[in-house]
Amino acid sequence: MSFTLAIVGRPNVGKSTLFNRLVGKKLALVDDQPGVTRDLREGEGRLADLRFTVIDSAGLEEATDDSLQGRMRRLTERAVEMADVCLFMIDARAGVLPADEVFADILRKKNANVILAANKGEGRAADATILEAFSLGLGEPIRMSAEHGEGLGELMDVLRPISDAHEERAAADAPETDVDVGEDDEDAPRIPTRAKPLQIAVVGRPNAGKSTLINKIIGEERLLTGPEAGITRDAISVQQDWGGVPMRIFDTAGMRKKAKVQEKLEKLSVSDGLRAVKFAEVVVVLLDVEIPFEQQDLRIADLAEREGRAVVVAVNKWDTEDDKQDKLKELKQSFERLLPQLRGAPLVTVSAKTGKGLDRLQQAIMRAHDVWNRRVTTAHLNRWMIGMLEQHPPPAPGGKRIKMRYMTQVKTRPPAFVVMTSHPDAVPESYKRYLVNGLREDFDMPGTPIRLYLRDQG
């Protein structure tokens, strides 16, 4: 069984054009299939050797009444529920519009796996949108032109690990018994609910010990749970209960091997990591205690932060360290100095070889995930903000008094906040940092990227 890709986005961005391109001429409409409404087109997509099901949520162009938004929302939600991954398309010529933010919000709430695509990306006009699109908080957009067939290679690169993970999961799943679904209910979702495993990527330089670590995690659980079919070491990701929690671990070392098998150019571990980071919730940056915080480590950690992932730093090969106390102090100092953007992120020492520290690593991952998902109520935030403003009022550049009126959390994963303020452009970075650090401390959100947006309100 192949994986399912849903193409979502507001009307006219080019969803059908991409759908037609992926599905090709012999478009298989399967309207009568359970769960597919007439608004959702489904077809067999192919991209080189990849095979998958594509759902196109277009078909709303004609609707112009007030209920358009509501219908769009329901349709998109339905598509998301049916899909393993969503391609969220925006129009690179039009820029990021408020309607796009609505879609981004739906996708976030649904915890969807999202690939952001800026379509109509041919030509210079698209450049600004590519940058702007980062503000959607859905990672780096793929620049594409559905009409001219550009960007499909990049799309394929992103889909491949998903396809692999899907195949592996299908192989590992026990055969299902038939379930009587009972009465036919038009609106009831017919999608089996699956417990979503926590998605982890282990990234780091070659030889940091990524394979050893993942093997150890898999191996230890095997002793507890007995041998299981379907876990192969070449896999791009493995799903595994770890301490009773279902987790999916993206293995960048495995990706490299796979790339070699396919006789592709061996990529830098940073670009392998990049792909894994995109689909992870928590990124474990694995350092080698002998050469910690190398350039490559810093780049990937920074990338994870910019992509808005929860980050845990693990220092491996701790068994080889004699002077553990001094070393730990030194590591903490380097961490603060070299990765200030990850302030408060957990630093865990482990030995992948002996398994020492893996329980602490698991706890740190769970906690980071928790913080990343944290939501603070608006009432709490506003009470807090008043205190912060009193303690240290915003500056008055050129005599302009900056007034901050209202604060609310607009999303989680990672937590993002909006402050309604006068003269948002005049607020210095240092003041934003004061607020972000305050949020971090007072609401106990160490280590997670926190986004703070200032919006103009007179």
- Least spacing, CB of residue 255 vs ligand GDP, in Å: 11
d(CA 381, CA 160): 42
Q: Does 248 bind ligand GDP (CB under 6 A)?
A: no
Decide if residue 119 touches ligand GDP (CB under 6 A): yes
Quick note: the x/- pattern for ligand GDP over 364-403, rule CB under 6 A, is ----------------------------------------
- Residue of 76, 240, 316, 409 interacting with ligand GDP (CB under 6 A): 316
Q: Does 173 sit near ligand GDP (CB under 6 A)?
A: no
- Beta carbon nearer to ligand GDP, 130 or 420: 130
Q: Which is nearer to ligand GDP, 40 or 388 (CB)?
A: 40
Q: What is the DSSP string of 160-204?
A: HHHHHHHHHHHHHSPPPPP----S--SSS--SPP-PPPEEEEEE-
CA 15 remoteness from chain centre: 22
Q: With CB under 6 A as the rule, give the number of residues binding ligand GDP.
A: 32
Burial class (CB in 10 A: 0-12, 13-18, 19+), 154: middle
β-bridge partners, 200: 249, 282
**Candidate list 15, 41, 166, 278; residue touching ligand GDP; CB under 6 A:** 15
- Token pair in block for residue 416: 């993002």
Angstrom distance (rounded) from CA 104 to CA 114: 9
The residues, ordered by sequence, that sit 6+ positions from 32 with a Cβ below 8 Å of its Cβ are: none
Told to check if 207 binds ligand GDP by CB under 6 A, we report yes
Is-contact 139 108, C-beta < 8 A?
A: no
**5, 6, 8, 13: residue in contact with ligand GDP (rule CB under 6 A):** 13
Report the residue from 47, 138, 255, 352 that binds ligand GDP according to the rule CB under 6 A.
352
C-beta separation of 44 from 51 below 8 A: yes
- Considering only residues 256 to 315 of the shown chain, the ones binding ligand GDP according to CB under 6 A are none
Q: What is the separation of C-alpha 235 from the centre of its chain, rounded to a whole number of angstroms?
A: 20
- Nearer to ligand GDP by Cβ, of 53 and 211: the residue is 211
Which is nearest to 152 in space by CA: 115, 187, 125? Answer: 115
- Over the window 38 to 77, marking each residue x when it contacts ligand GDP by CB under 6 A and - when it does not, the resulting string is --------------------x--x----------------
Q: Which residues contribute to the site for ligand GDP (CB under 6 A)?
A: 11-17, 58, 61, 119-120, 122, 145-148, 204, 206-212, 253, 316-317, 319-320, 351-353
